[in-house]
Chain A
Amino acid sequence: DIQMTQSPSSLSASVGDRVTITCRASQSINSYLNWYQQKPGKAPKVLIYAASSLQSGVPSRFSGSGSGTDFTLTISSLQPEDFATYFCQQSYSTPPTFGQGTKLEIK
């Protein structure tokens, strides 16, 4: 199975900050990398698919980049509603695997 490693595991930031979360795959996954946002008690929601494509309806302050083994999710200017947990997921091979999550908290 492909292992996905996110960093950091948690992050404190303020409204308006620029934030970057990193995800590393244990082998090349080309651009088969997705990012999800999850709020407590809610279902995950896809933000970015295929490493850099913004899902319809997702604010443009979210962006993704990378290919191969190293990927990033960037939030350009944090809004109050962005405080949540973020997961990366590879869809290159079965089983699909997720990073352990990055909890974004208010500073």
Chain B
Amino acid sequence: GAVVSQHPSWVICKSGTSVKIECRSLDFQATTMFWYRQFPKQSLMLMATSNEGSKATYEQGVEKDKFLINHASLTLSTLTVTSAHPEDSSFYICSARDLSGYSYEQYFGPGTRLTVT
């Protein structure tokens, strides 16, 4: 089946630094990917839609200048958390859909756990 990978799987950084998270579709092309955030003991919340070759669209309340999204190729989207603070500590999950089929299944990455100290 289709596979979506994320790198790194976990990262610890100091407050004020920036962290980049990669989301890759390994065996299919994805013009659109999605980024979700999950705080401890909470549900997943959609942050933004990443569009290949164009600007990302952000959900209400998500700071676009803080969460930079780049979708430079059909298989890679990156999320950069700029000037990270402890409140940005969360589990970040990306997802993508294989355009070659008509399935509405969503392939999720394994997630990246970010801890900001």
Q: Do A and B bind each other?
A: no
A interface list, Cβ under 8 A from B? none
